[in-house]
Amino acid sequence: MSRYAREVAVVAFAQSDHLRRTDELSEVEMVMPVLHQVLAATGLKAAEIGFTCSGSSDYLAGRAFSFTMTLDGVGAWPPISESHVEMDGAWALYEAWVKIQTGEADTALVYSYGKSSPGSVRDVLTRQLDPYYVAPLWPDSVALAALQAQALIDAGETDESALAAVGTRSRADAEANPHAQLRGPVPQGDYQVRPLRTGDCPPVGDGAAAVVLAAGDLARRLCERPAWITGIDHRIEAHSLGLRDLTDSPSTRLAAEHAGVFEAPVDTAELHAPFSSQEVVLRKALGLTDGVAVNPSGGALAANPMMAAGLIRIGEAAARIHRGASSRAVAHATSGPCLQQNLVAVLEGDAR
Amino acid sequence: MSKEPVAVVGIGQTKHVAARHDVSIAGLVREAAARALADAELTWADIDAVVIGKAPDFFEGVMMPELYLADALGAVGKPMLRVHTAGSVGGSTALVASNLVAARVHRTVLTLAFEKQSESNAMWGLSLPVPFQQPLLAGAGGFFAPHVRAYMRRTGAPDTVGSLVAYKDRRNALKNPYAHLHEHDLTLEKVQASPMLWDPIRYSETCPSSDGACAMILTDRAGAARSPKPAAWVHGGAMRSEPTLFAGKDFVSPQAGKDCAADVYRQAGITDPRREIDAVEMYVPFSWYEPMWLENLGFAEEGEGWKLTEAGVTELDGDLPVNPSGGVLSTNPIGASGMIRFAEAALQVRGQAGEHQVPGARRAMGHAYGGGSQFFAMWLVGAQEPTS
């Protein structure tokens, strides 16, 4: 069934409640319950895990080497085989998946977290931009997304009422998600940066997530209905917005081709689209039809903990397979301004 | 299942200096990558994926710089991963790239690590205060000096050993055109007379702050067969981590370092590292870490590492040359330092190390560590394709 050397599945997923502020929690305290929960779901102990990988960002923590302390939450004693990406946890999952493909590990613990509340995340994200020519102008993430939204409207791909409907649907779906930050009817609100209104933008919040991966028969033993990763790939585009067609996402399409998304229909799509307009771009790149359940968890418009939101998309898609609500799902994660870098995974459950 | 054998077929470094005012960060990394491609006689189109590493983003003040560097590294339309494991990151980055080939996910991968410390102030970058968290103290020397003292007390090593390491590594650096420090008039007496910074660590026993980048091209068996120059084959690679601070931690010889080395030796079929390994590129940012790591990595019995150093065993013409390139003590673009160790080990077994070549080196080790002696990454490379 797999194009790869080994069958690998998501066998467990856990996430924190995503909150606007968590002043009373250190990052370690935010991550630990999630780690305990995901390990408890499999019955594995930290010392039994073959490989551990995390994703986070020093810039959110406001200090260098922030992940060295969070590792304490894992209980890395005796010493563990471990690595870290300064990226969303979806890419940590990718590194862990590669490690299992080499045969050097049969299981992996993947976690990620981010606290946006200590600073202004709109300002912080400007530091991702070209440091010589763009970052000194402090163009913030909402302004950049608004450029993309306006380009879509100008191209006739969407309009403001269609965007509002994306926000409304996401937050209505989030009503059933106890971890989501924004749930139920949320007014579309005033313009943040035209044409984007409050309801088109993600909430700013803190949160963490964790996943356990396992190979082959071990996955079958650890999970009644494993979510097999039948394809996973990620691609990056040029950084400069002037070099890209903002109404399209060729990197998402390319990653999807390599992951095998187009080989069979999907019933679920968990898309990391922090802005309503980005869902429009991603639907087109992934060729999603109206019958596909898009972001049944509420997506990033309901909870967008930086560095964890992409891993949560994989986790939510996997959880839907675990409980039999999906048989073939696509999960997506993004990084960088206006969907610069994109990861796509296909998750499938065995026929019951 | 079997892993694909992984070969290093291209290596490129910048000339490491205190400040590269003539290039941007993008220019710096592209220079190293272009040299690695030229060494492998490949083009950007031959690269399937890019794996990049560096130490904290605060060192340059750019958050997740891989986004901005995608164009400069020819990564547009390709997969790009960004690894960060503190000071061991250069080694970890190479291992992540190596796994992509070993897993047969990609055939030819560019891996690169860099630091452009002149863009900012590393001491400041490491010293941002955070409430309710352990401060890292002002810079790394203050953190490591007590552990050096503990080593001296535990082993009875005479206080001259550190200066021997510094004098050796700085002389080796004179033979390495890419090394940052070229101190032609250095003498042992000058090292010993240099100012005391963090007792017992003197100024000349510490690493410099460098701008620099290092790149490697890793490929599979078919790629190695097409390579115009000899390949270095990866015989073993591993990472290990342990908590920074806890009552049971041995800061002089951390368990994670021992376990990591043992895993690499098991993969490579090494049973007697002292006899079977011909050269070691070891992460020695403060001179005393040479004897400490000689013990941690199993090259000497506990308490005996300093005797190897003192007897000249680790000199370029000794029977276990350590840091023939001049090491971290001569060149320290922090995020790249680990990858330079890995790349220099590969240069040795390819027979491409120039004036600092260890004659007939067949197996060499690259070693990196980071955090509070918390993260370890190592690989062992050989001139021959591994048999298992």
Whether a cis peptide bond, with omega within 30° of 0, leads into B200 is yes
Closest Cα to residue B364, out of B176, B217, B237, B189? B237
Interface test with B, best of A6, A51, A84 (most B CBs within 10 A): A84
pLDDT tens-digit profile of A94-135? 999 999 999 999 999 999 999 999 999 999 999 999 999 999
Strands B49-53 and B80-83, sheet pairing: parallel
Task: Show Cβ contacts of residue B226 under 8 Å, excluding neighbours closer than 6 positions.
Answer: none
**Is there a contact between B76 and A236 if contact means CB atoms under 8 Å apart?**
yes
Residues B210/B16, Cβ–Cβ less than 8 Å: yes
Task: Show Cβ contacts of residue A331 under 8 Å, excluding neighbours closer than 6 positions.
Answer: A90, A269, A270, A313, A314, A316, A317, A318, A344, A345, A346, A347
**Is there a contact between A128 and B67 if contact means CB atoms under 8 Å apart?**
yes
What is the average pLDDT across A205-230? 98
pLDDT on residue B136: 56
Quickly list DSSP for A218-260: HHHHH-SS-EEEEEEEEEE--S-GGGS-TT--HHHHHHHHHHT
pLDDT on residue B298: 98
pLDDT on residue B388: 66
| Cα distance between residue B328 and residue B181, in whole Å | 10
Closest Cα to residue A116, out of A247, A235, A22, A251? A22
| Cα distance between residue A300 and residue A171, in whole Å | 10
Per-10-residue mean pLDDT, chain B, length 388:
92 98 98 98 98 96 97 98 97 98 98 96 76 60 91 97 98 98 98 96 96 98 98 98 91 98 98 98 98 98 98 98 98 98 98 98 97 95 92
Strands B80-83 and B108-116, sheet pairing: unpaired
For residue A52, which residues of chain B lie inside 8 Å, CB to CB?
241
B312: left (phi over 0), alpha (psi -120 to 50) or beta: left
Domain boundaries, chain B: 4-120+205-380
**Is there a contact between A238 and B70 if contact means CB atoms under 8 Å apart?**
yes
Tell whether B67 lies on the interface with A, counting CB pairs under 8 A. Answer: yes
In this structure, of A73-77, A215-219, A297-301, the range with the lowest mean pLDDT score is A73-77
Q: What percent of chain B has pLDDT over 70?
A: 97
**Is there a contact between B82 and A91 if contact means CB atoms under 8 Å apart?**
yes
pLDDT on residue B2: 83
Nearest CA in chain A to B58: A64
**Is there a contact between B136 and A131 if contact means CB atoms under 8 Å apart?**
no
| Cα distance between residue B64 and residue A124, in whole Å | 11
Interface test with A, best of B84, B134, B220, B264 (most A CBs within 10 A): B84
**Is there a contact between A65 and B134 if contact means CB atoms under 8 Å apart?**
no
Encoding tokens for residue A22? 């968590």
Q: CA torsion sign, A139 to A142 to A148 to A152?
A: negative
Tell whether B143 lies on the interface with A, counting CB pairs under 8 A. Answer: no
**Distance between terminal CA atoms of chain B?**
12
Amino acid present at B88:
S
| Cα distance between residue A202 and residue A273, in whole Å | 9
H-only helix segments in A47-154: 58-61, 66-70, 89-102, 121-126, 141-154
A81 in helix, strand or coil?
A: coil
pLDDT on residue A351: 76
For residue A68, which residues of chain B lie inside 8 Å, CB to CB?
86, 244, 371-372, 374-375
Tell whether A198 lies on the interface with B, counting CB pairs under 8 A. Answer: no
Q: How many residues does chain A have?
A: 352
pLDDT at A1 over 50: no
pLDDT tens-digit profile of A233-260? 999 999 999 999 999 999 999 999 999 9
Per-residue CA distances from A9 to A12, A15, A215 (Å): 9, 18, 6
The tokens 């892993």 sit on which residue?
B3
> How wide is the angle at C-alpha B99 spanned by C-alphas B98 and B104, nearest 5°?
105
pLDDT on residue B137: 57
Per-residue CA distances from A247 to A153, A238, A285, A295, A308 (Å): 9, 15, 10, 20, 25
pLDDT at A3 over 80: no
| Cα distance between residue B135 and residue B157, in whole Å | 30
What is the average pLDDT across A1-9? 83
User: Which 8-state DSSP code applies to residue A179?
Assistant: T
What is the average pLDDT across A137-153? 97
| Cα distance between residue B75 and residue A29, in whole Å | 37
Angle between helices A309-322 and A89-102 in degrees, nearest 10:
60
| Cα distance between residue B365 and residue B354, in whole Å | 18
| Cα distance between residue B38 and residue A230, in whole Å | 36
Compute the mean pLDDT over every residue in chain A, rounded to the nearest whole number. 96
Q: Tell me how far the alpha carbon of residue B225 is from its chain's centroid.
A: 27
Tell whether A141 lies on the interface with B, counting CB pairs under 8 A. Answer: no
ipTM above 0.95, yes or no: yes
SS (H, E, C) chain B: CCCCCCEEEEEEECCCECCCCCCCHHHHHHHHHHHHHHHHCCCHHHCCEEEEECCCHHHCCCCCCHHHHCCCCCCECCCEEEECECECHHHHHHHHHHHHHHCCCCCEEEEEEEEEHHHCCHHHHHCCCCCCCCCCCCCCHHHHHHHHHHHHHHHCCCCCHHHHHHHHHHHHHCCCCCCCCCCCCCCHHHHHHCCEEECCEEHHHECCCCEEEEEEEEECHHHHHHCCCCCEEEEEEEEEECCCCCCCCCCCCCHHHHHHHHHHHHHHCCCCHHHHCCEEECCCCECCHHHHHHHHCCCCCCCCHHHHHHCCCCCCCCCCCECCCCHHHHCCCHHHHHHHHHHHHHHHHHCCCHHHCCCCCCEEEEEEEECCCCEEEEEEEECCCCCC
Q: Tell me how far the alpha carbon of residue A227 is from its chain's centroid.
A: 16
A209 in helix, strand or coil?
A: strand
Closest Cα to residue A317, out of A332, A306, A303, A339? A332
Any idea which architecture B4-120+205-380 has in CATH? 3-Layer(aba) Sandwich (3.40)
Enumerate residues 248 to 287 of chain A having a beta carbon within 8 A of any beta carbon in chain B.
250-251, 254
Closest Cα to residue A173, out of A184, A186, A165, A164? A184
Amino acid present at B296:
N
Residue scoring higher pLDDT (A173 or A187): A173
Strands A196-197 and A191-193, sheet pairing: antiparallel
Residues A273/A152, Cβ–Cβ less than 8 Å: no
Tell whether A187 lies on the interface with B, counting CB pairs under 8 A. Answer: no
